[in-house]
Structure 1
Amino acid sequence: MNYVSKKIILLPVIILFSLFLAIFSSSSNVHADDYLKNIQSKGTLVMGTSPDYPPYEFLSKGANGSQVYGADVELGQQIAKDMGVKLKVKSMSFDSLLVALQTHKVDMVISGLNKTPERAKSVDFTNSYYQSGTGLLINKSDKGKIKSYQDLKGLSAGAQVGSVQYDLIKKASKDVNVKGMENVNDLILALKSNKISAVAMDSAVADSYVSHNPGIMKISAGLHSADSNNNVAFPKGATSLVKKANQTIKQVTTNNLYVDKFIPDSIKHMSSNKKTSTASSMWQYKDFFITGIKGTMLISVVSIFFGIILGIIFALMRLSNNWLLHAIAVCYIEFIRGTPQMVQIMFVYFGLGAIVNVPALTSGIIAISINSGAYVAEIIRGGITSIAKGQSEAALSLGLSEKQAMRYIVLPQAFKNIWPALGNELVTLIKDSSIASVIGVGELMYQMRAVQADTYQGVAPIAIIMVIYFVITFTISRIMKYFEGKISHGTND
């Protein structure tokens, strides 16, 4: 291995190591006594939650589209009020909540979260504000066959990834095939389509889903855990916030506000359209899908714009005779193409976001642009290398500089050759923008989840966004095909 190859290998290692050092060192910059003071100074308390757990937290139609409601949200509002600040709610997948808390993307997490010894090592918990049980959801057709978790031997059971119920059902029996999913609506859909035989979840949440799904029922799980108390989570060392929140929780539990007020108030916002036809129900949520289309197209258009710019830059760098520029381009292209896009989105939002507070939408655009840039770079490099060297030599012989030859002779011909591939990349990017929903970006996939949560219909919203994605991508493919014909016709003339 020569000296240059060693540098190429070491460069990404050094960059990543520096990033990790910066991220982990940034998490210790806030002193415990400053947490409450900082929250009151900025005037807002950011609450992280996974809104697929009615009646604790769920998405429903509000004055400005989808809005998060629930007993946990009302508790968060009370905590914020007692701190003298306003509450801001951020939605994301359940298994991302504690990561968001550790990287200071949110100030607290209230999401039907149970305190466990493992979680307590990473975050600080308040006293319990509510105690829940565990129930099993099964299809009514299995009523006589499944009476508790003991009857699940040899069968498949589902639970939300990262939940106490997931750990409970997994530890209860080694003979049960436990399938974890991020979203509760997906679990219900899997149950109704007989992909799994049961779903383990919070008892009150199970009641909400049973009330809107006539084909399923709740039974006693026969599972008990000391970790069934719901708690509020704060960053590790945020003693001032924990103490302040505990004062609110003491007031709430003493007066039984959570059960007598917060839950009943939340139920009022839950959808009552379970008897409405599917077509009528979906039409009522057209604004959700329109908002999702706008979000998807915004992400796609901006990302492909910056992706092409990055692609041109790194393609030229990889073709450069300068070993450093070539090495940087190779590291960038190979690393981005060798890691999943979801991981990249989460790293930009949670990782780099720990250093600089980047909004979810901006993080999604940055990550998707960077990902697209790596693929576009290879497409452009292939287009440039497909042009005969005689073209560049002829341009140089006519007195053009190397930059002018590349700009006026090589690149125009290369773009003609790679136009179909660029069209495919744009179509792929539009579909991949759905991954941004994992950090709470309000594109099509996120809005589809909102409709699922509010209507308790699993398949219909999926079918609608499939059609929407097809219409968008097919239209773009036709447009790209039209311009491809124009380019070819212009060249032939």
Structure 2
Amino acid sequence: MINPKIKKILLLIATVMLALSGLLGMVNPSANAKAQPTHDNYLKNVKKKGTLVMGTAPDYPPYEFIGKNNGSSQVYGADILLGQKIAHDMGVKLKVKSMSFDSLMVALRTGKIDMIIAGLNKTPQRAKSVDFTNSYYTSGTDLVINKKDKNKIKSYHDLSGQSVGGQVGSVQYDLAKSQIKNVNLKGMESVDDLVLALKTGKVSAVPMDASVAKAYVEHNSGIMQIPAGFSASSGASSDNNAAFSKGAKSLVASANKTIQQVQAKHEYTDQFVPQAIKHMTNNKNQSVANSMWSYKDYFLKGTEYTIMISLISVCFGIVLGIIFALMRLSHNWLLHAIAVVYIEFIRGTPLMVQIMFVYFGLGAVVNVPALTSGIVAISINSGAYVAEIIRSGITSINVGQSEASLSLGLSQSQTMRYIVLPQAIKNIWPALGNEFISLIKNSSLASIIGVGELMYQMRAVQADTYQGIAPIAVIMIIYFIITFAISRTMKFYEGKMNHGTNN
């Protein structure tokens, strides 16, 4: 026989899982496509809101990259200019959202963006999920290798059994995986990280778009590009296409009209690319220190966002932690079960997944901005850990004190408020400090959805300066300064608490 309380908890867990699966069914448009056919009002809706939201991964110069604009960062590139023209022809303004390349498809399918232009190649698999426009530009695939290996590596055939880097979700990644024999393929989200891995000897070559390879080779000493020699048997195309939601025929038709005009006038190659190159920074003759100092505004802005996210999240996390700690200690089986499910589920799933679920999943039902989504997800995550910290602090207080306060006429809530919690907080103060420090470091994961905190700004500096290690060193120092200051502050107040107790 199953214990009745355990049975109730299992039923509650099953109910929660059913609710989540129902929500995911709402989020995934393809899941309900057959049951709920929709009319194509995409273009009408875009015109109604007055903006066309374009998603891109700005680490792909000269197509899309982050550059300076009066001390702040801005996304530039030939693809951005194309997006502006497509939006102009629709009679709306273009809004650009930056995120990691492998998040773009999810963002499009969950309605966070209306269009993808990111040097995207059409493949049979992708065509099942989204609708592509006609090609607006055709480029080849090259290999970027170290100059010292120019006599060893002549094409992809020479990479058999070696480590090769590729951008996750890209056609180049798939080509390397399918055509290089016994390859040790290392997938990364950022092209900047791939180039850094190449220069530090972590990989022997990186396949990438020929124009992008040229941009990185021109701004990095010690590397070169060679023809990759891949065959097109995989069905992948070297054509660059814009992508829209599946069934958005009206948007595709409108974009195709613009693309047809652009191709007829050779605007992409003759105007957009040269105009984009003008915004690309050349730091070859500038020292690393001067180069990093010129981007101080980027790092200051990232620090501001990091501290803001952390402070707000820790406040909400403490409130949630107290509530769920008391619920878990409650003798009410329902409150106890809800607290257990929340704490164990949140602690059992990665924070990055939680951030993506809040932004892409719940955001498909309620439009939540990236910054708000990051704060909500980090607060919920912190709340689960704080709940366990507070619970351990409460249980560390001798039960005799609670019994004594009750015998003196205090209620249970007064006992908890005036007797137990103050002592528990003193006991758990070091653990709360560690949680706050961990939360500051974990805030870097919000960069995956385009929140402009320190990690995001570091990527922006990498993309604009083509320097891989220096920006990383800068944010390491900034993170250390922030966490060390917090650590000393927490230690100071811990000493004050101990001093007050001794007196």
Q: Which TM-score tier does this pair reach, normalised by the shorter chain?
A: over 0.9
Quote the residue 1:72 is aligned against: 79
State the Cα distance separating 1:154 from its structure 2 match: 1.8
1:83 maps to a residue whose letter is M
1:123 maps to a residue whose letter is V
State the Cα distance separating 1:192 from its structure 2 match: 0.2
Quote the residue 2:229 is aligned against: 222
2:203 maps to a residue whose letter is I
Q: Which runs of 4+ in 1 moved over 4 A?
A: none
Moved more, 444-453 or 19-28: 19-28
State the Cα distance separating 1:32 from its structure 2 match: 4.2
C-alpha separation in 2, matches of 1:23 and 1:155: 40
Moved more, 272-281 or 81-90: 272-281
C-alpha separation in 1, matches of 2:71 and 2:363: 27
1:17 maps to a residue whose letter is L
C-alpha separation in 1, matches of 2:120 and 2:433: 44
1:100 maps to a residue whose letter is A
Moved more, 418-427 or 14-23: 14-23
1:469 maps to a residue whose letter is Y
State the Cα distance separating 1:488 from its structure 2 match: 1.2
Alignment of 1:47-66 (within 5 A): 47-63=54-70, 65-66=72-73
Quote the residue 2:7 is aligned against: 6
State the Cα distance separating 1:63 from its structure 2 match: 2.8
1:181 equivalent among 188, 196, 200: 188
Alignment of 1:9-158 (within 5 A): 9-25=10-26, 27=29, 31-63=38-70, 65-158=72-165
Q: Is the 8 A contact 1:32 1:238 kept in 2?
A: no
**Secondary structure of the structure 1 residue equivalent to 2:55:** strand
Q: Is the 8 A contact 1:134 1:224 kept in 2?
A: no
C-alpha separation in 2, matches of 1:342 and 1:9: 27
C-alpha separation in 2, matches of 1:446 and 1:153: 35
Q: Is the 8 A contact 1:384 1:411 kept in 2?
A: yes
Quote the residue 2:176 is aligned against: 169
Quote the residue 1:486 is aligned against: 496
C-alpha separation in 2, matches of 1:487 and 1:220: 67
1:210 equivalent among 217, 220, 234: 217
What do residues 322-347 of structure 1 show as CA deviations (whole Å, max 9, x unaligned)? 00000000000000000011000000
C-alpha separation in 1, matches of 2:73 and 2:4: 56
State the Cα distance separating 1:64 from its structure 2 match: 5.7
What do residues 96-120 of structure 1 show as CA deviations (whole Å, max 9, x unaligned)? 0000000000011000001111011
2:306 equivalent among 278, 296, 307: 296
State the Cα distance separating 1:87 from its structure 2 match: 0.4
State the Cα distance separating 1:490 from its structure 2 match: 1.1
Q: Is the 8 A contact 1:133 1:224 kept in 2?
A: no
Q: Is the 8 A contact 2:161 2:181 kept in 1?
A: no
Quote the residue 1:338 is aligned against: 348
C-alpha separation in 2, matches of 1:219 and 1:10: 60
Q: Compared with structure 1, are the counterparts of its residues 10 and 72 closer, same or farther at alpha carbon in structure 2 (3 Å cutoff)?
A: farther
C-alpha separation in 2, matches of 1:30 and 1:40: 22
1:399 equivalent among 394, 409, 431: 409
Q: Is the 8 A contact 2:106 2:360 kept in 1?
A: yes
Moved more, 194-203 or 22-31: 22-31
Q: Is the 8 A contact 2:176 2:207 kept in 1?
A: yes
Q: Compared with structure 1, are the counterparts of its residues 329 and 90 closer, same or farther at alpha carbon in structure 2 (3 Å cutoff)?
A: same
Identity %: 70
2:288 maps to a residue whose letter is T
**Secondary structure of the structure 1 residue equivalent to 2:471:** helix
State the Cα distance separating 1:302 from its structure 2 match: 0.3
Quote the residue 2:280 is aligned against: 270
- 2:378 matched to 1:371? no
State the Cα distance separating 1:30 from its structure 2 match: 9.1
Q: Is the 8 A contact 2:71 2:297 kept in 1?
A: no
State the Cα distance separating 1:8 from its structure 2 match: 2.1
2:401 maps to a residue whose letter is Q
**Secondary structure of the structure 2 residue equivalent to 1:33:** coil
C-alpha separation in 2, matches of 1:259 and 1:32: 36
**Secondary structure of the structure 1 residue equivalent to 2:247:** coil
**Secondary structure of the structure 1 residue equivalent to 2:40:** helix
**Secondary structure of the structure 2 residue equivalent to 1:196:** coil
Alignment of 1:393-472 (within 5 A): 393-472=403-482
State the Cα distance separating 1:214 from its structure 2 match: 1.4
1:218 maps to a residue whose letter is Q
What do residues 434-458 of structure 1 show as CA deviations (whole Å, max 9, x unaligned)? 0110110000000000000000000
C-alpha separation in 1, matches of 2:312 and 2:135: 45
Structure 2 length-normalised TM:
0.96
Give the CA RMSD over aligned residues. 1.2
Quote the residue 1:255 is aligned against: 265
State the Cα distance separating 1:15 from its structure 2 match: 2.0
Moved more, 23-32 or 426-435: 23-32
Q: Is the 8 A contact 1:32 1:239 kept in 2?
A: no
C-alpha separation in 2, matches of 1:355 and 1:19: 13
Q: Which runs of 5+ in 2 are unaligned?
A: none
Q: Is the 8 A contact 2:76 2:276 kept in 1?
A: yes
Q: Compared with structure 1, are the counterparts of its residues 208 and 13 closer, same or farther at alpha carbon in structure 2 (3 Å cutoff)?
A: farther
State the Cα distance separating 1:283 from its structure 2 match: 0.4
Structure 1 length-normalised TM:
0.98
2:342 maps to a residue whose letter is Y
1:368 maps to a residue whose letter is I
1:386 maps to a residue whose letter is S
1:61 maps to a residue whose letter is K
What do residues 334-369 of structure 1 show as CA deviations (whole Å, max 9, x unaligned)? 000000110000001001011000000000000000
What do residues 402-456 of structure 1 show as CA deviations (whole Å, max 9, x unaligned)? 0000011000000000000000000000000001101100000000000000000
State the Cα distance separating 1:6 from its structure 2 match: 2.9
**Secondary structure of the structure 2 residue equivalent to 1:47:** strand
1:46 maps to a residue whose letter is V
C-alpha separation in 2, matches of 1:224 and 1:75: 29
